[in-house]
């Protein structure tokens, strides 16, 4: 049976051998998904990975993204066996994840007669001998589908078990809704940071590593541990993380693909709540790359934004500064930031995608669905999300970013050298032996004969004059 969703299709098969007993063939499913213009297809079978090869061949021929998975009936040891079963849907995110899932399917089927399986929750808790890849089932996405007849306590127990064994050890990724603040402030009682207390009951409290404005929706990365927080913070400050935003702006920029370089500063008299363009030399450098994805006549444009620096309200101020404020941003666009008709007056700025390195060596690449008001506006203006699906080219860093990267690299090199020097010094102290007295040795030019000569008298030490430069720290500007 295929469940239809916008841009997505998923197949849940009836039995271990459902492809042979009346269910659709994998190639037929891929063809049907293409006819329906789906962007991806996920195929799962009960404790099986049937038809994978043929499905991959068909998907490759049609250039469709294919996700392979499996299903398990989940029963915890504390549950009576006669109770309804929840379904655990597992989707392999990578080839390695597919291998881990295949291993669990093999273990579960070897325990039972042919045509049946017995998967234990302890399998992913590290209780299978010589099977470390089963613990937490790395690189697999786990979805819990409770049965409608199950009690709340049973569903909660399943959710706690799932959170314990399938959560990412370094990060939590949220799709923040508009209207929810990231951090607290004067008069702000409900915010994301306050909600993180619930995650810290059985371990370290997760930490924010970047922020989104209250009315901006989309991808928000949370670090689970202090170590991962330090790791992610360096990626954000070093500009190696890629942040891609979508926005709807009023009017259409004359240049379809451009770079905005306007320094920003806090606007006086606003208590730091509002920013402004400041080209007096006092403002902080700010750079934004934008690209027009589509337009609705001259009324509005759908733009893709990439902040190359991380200033407060940067995207909002920059788009307003070039005469095309973000729809719904009355703070910087005034009355001109609103469109008439069915277009919502809410902010149309969405953190669509985040790509950042993971502490384990992999990469986090996550996309957030649009909030309801943004999606409705896209439909009203005739914009198609597929037109913005391609990953844009990485913008070339400016002089400021190159200097920052060079500083960070030089700092890291100095840090490593200091560690090496300390290591060598510690080694010398540990292995130093007392000097052995030797008598004078004959022989011209031998080291011992040189050492036996009386040392020349050192000149008197000259008192150093005052230094003109700083004792330590970075060199002043213009001296490099």
Coil, strand or helix at 195: helix
Residue 424 tokens read as 């060598």
C-alpha to C-alpha distance for 18 and 70, rounded to whole angstroms: 13
C-alpha to C-alpha distance for 461 and 458, rounded to whole angstroms: 8
In degrees, rounded to 5, the angle at the alpha carbon of residue 114 between the alpha carbons of residues 109 and 115 is: 85
Of 45, 123, 213, 329, the catalytic one is 213
C-alpha to C-alpha distance for 437 and 439, rounded to whole angstroms: 7
Residue 440 tokens read as 């004078």
Residues 6+ apart with CB under 8 A from 310: 210, 236, 237
Residues 6+ apart with CB under 8 A from 56: 66, 68
Number of Cβ within a 10 Å radius of residue 1? 9
Angle between helices 26-35 and 52-61 (to 10 degrees): 30
In degrees, rounded to 5, the angle at the alpha carbon of residue 86 between the alpha carbons of residues 47 and 75 is: 80
C-alpha to C-alpha distance for 306 and 245, rounded to whole angstroms: 6
What residue spans of 79-123 are helical by DSSP H? 95-110
Is residue 329 flagged as an active site residue? no
Answer whether 252's CB lies under 8 Å from 292's CB. yes
In degrees, rounded to 5, the angle at the alpha carbon of residue 39 between the alpha carbons of residues 38 and 42 is: 85
At 40, give phi and psi (nearest 5°). Answer: -150, 165
C-alpha to C-alpha distance for 385 and 341, rounded to whole angstroms: 21
CB-count exposure of residue 355 (10 Å: 0-12, 13-18, 19+) = middle
C-alpha to C-alpha distance for 43 and 327, rounded to whole angstroms: 39
DSSP symbol at 225: S
C-alpha to C-alpha distance for 231 and 170, rounded to whole angstroms: 10
Distance of CA 31 to the CA centre of its chain: 33
At 240, give phi and psi (nearest 5°). Answer: -90, -20
Helix-, strand-, coil-residue percentages of the chain, each rounded to 5: 30, 25, 45
Residue 241 tokens read as 């993380």
Catalytic residues: 213
């Amino acid at each position: 049976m295929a469940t239809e969703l916008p841009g997505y299709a998923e197949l849940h098969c009836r039995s271990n051998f459902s492809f042979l007993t009346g269910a659709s063939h994998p190639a037929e499913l891929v063809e049907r998904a293409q006819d329906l213009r789906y962007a991806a297809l996920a195929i799962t079978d009960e404790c099986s990975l049937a038809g994978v090869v043929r499905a991959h061949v068909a998907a490759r021929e049609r250039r469709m993204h294919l996700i392979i998975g499996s299903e398990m009936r989940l029963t915890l040891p504390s549950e009576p066996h006669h109770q309804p079963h929840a379904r655990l849907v597992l989707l392999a995110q990578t080839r390695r994840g597919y291998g881990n899932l295949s291993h669990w399917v093999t273990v579960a089927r070897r325990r039972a007669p042919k045509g049946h399986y017995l998967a234990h929750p302890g399998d992913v808790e590290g209780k299978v001998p010589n099977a470390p890849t089963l613990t937490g089932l790395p690189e697999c996405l786990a979805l819990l589908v409770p049965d409608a007849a199950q009690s709340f306590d049973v569903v909660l127990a399943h959710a706690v078990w799932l959170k314990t064994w399938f959560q990412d050890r370094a990060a939590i990724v949220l799709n923040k809704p508009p209207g929810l603040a990231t951090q607290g402030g004067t008069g702000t009682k409900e915010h994301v940071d306050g909600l993180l207390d619930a995650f810290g009951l059985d371990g370290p409290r997760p930490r924010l590593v970047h922020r989104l404005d209250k009315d901006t929706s989309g991808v928000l990365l949370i670090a689970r541990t202090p170590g991962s927080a330090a790791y992610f913070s360096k990626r954000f400050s070093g500009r190696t993380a890629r942040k891609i935003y979508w926005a709807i702006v009023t009017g259409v920029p004359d240049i379809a693909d451009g770079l905005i370089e306007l320094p920003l500063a806090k606007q006086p008299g606003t208590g730091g709540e509002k920013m402004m363009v400041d080209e007096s030399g006092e403002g902080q450098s700010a750079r934004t790359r934008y690209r027009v994805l589509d337009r609705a006549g001259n009324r509005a444009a759908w733009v893709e934004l990439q902040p190359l620096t991380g200033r407060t309200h940067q995207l909002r101020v920059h788009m307003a500064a070039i005469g095309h404020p973000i729809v719904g941003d009355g703070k910087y666009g005034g009355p001109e930031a609103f469109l008439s008709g069915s277009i919502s007056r809410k902010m149309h700025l969405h953190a669509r995608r985040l790509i950042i390195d993971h502490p384990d060596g992999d990469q986090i690449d996550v996309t957030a669905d649009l909030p309801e008001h943004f999606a409705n506006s896209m439909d009203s203006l005739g914009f198609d999300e597929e037109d913005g699906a391609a990953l844009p080219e990485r913008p070339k860093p400016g002089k400021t970013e190159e200097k920052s990267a060079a500083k960070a690299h030089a700092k890291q090199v100095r840090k490593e050298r200091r560690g090496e020097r300390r290591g060598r010094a510690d080694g010398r102290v540990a292995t130093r032996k007392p000097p052995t007295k030797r008598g004078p040795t004959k022989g011209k030019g031998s080291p011992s004969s040189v050492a036996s000569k009386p040392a020349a008298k050192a000149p008197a030490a000259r008192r150093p004059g005052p230094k003109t430069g700083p004792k330590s720290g970075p060199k002043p500007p213009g001296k490099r």
